[in-house]
Amino acid sequence: SYFEGENAGQNPDMIFPAIEEMRLPIQYLANLLTAGDTEPVKEGLQKMAMMRSYMRSQITNQPFDTSKLERLGLTERQMTEMYRLLGIAKYEDRFVVPSSHKETYLDTYKAQGSQGYGGEYFGSNCEGCGVAVQSGK
């Protein structure tokens, strides 16, 4: 594969040659994420590529040499946890839409389109459209 490179099975030191040759330069990612330090970026990319390889072998029931994980300082449990967090996050972790406060619950569907530019700061509500909700003010 692209991440493992040619002859990766025979030589474990050649498992990640393509990370150095990515279209998005390592130095650019390092400048964005680690103040120019390329080693943590390379290490992170290697771990993600190893996770991909490990999980592919698990899903396809192929044997996997766990000594590859040990070279990166990882365990099988860490690979599974990384996959769960990065690949298939829980539903509530995927979106960053804040939940509404129950103590100030409003029927937002009912009030939809009722305020516009009127109200407290912009004068009176629009009374001509027939959609305005009685605010009680």
* Interval 107-131: pLDDT, tens: 666 766 666 555 555 555 555 555 5
d(C-alpha 125, C-alpha 110), whole Å:
16
Delineate the domains of the chain, giving CATH numbers in brackets.
12-94 (1.10.3650.10), 98-137 (no CATH)
125's tokens: 């509500």
CA distance from start to end of the chain: 67
Instruction: Report whether 15 contacts 4 (CB < 8 A).
Output: yes
| Amino acid at residue number 133 | V
Per residue in 48-87, pLDDT (tens digit) is 888 888 988 999 999 988 888 888 899 999 999 988 888 7
DSSP 130: S
Chain centroid to CA 78: how far? 17
- The single residue listed with the structure tokens 């995927």 is 94
Per residue in 78-112, pLDDT (tens digit) is 999 988 888 776 776 666 666 666 666 666 667 66
pTM value? 0.54
Backbone angles phi, psi at 128, to 5 degrees: -80, -20
- Given pLDDT bands bounded at 50, 70 and 90, which one contains residue 31? very high
d(C-alpha 118, C-alpha 132), whole Å:
10
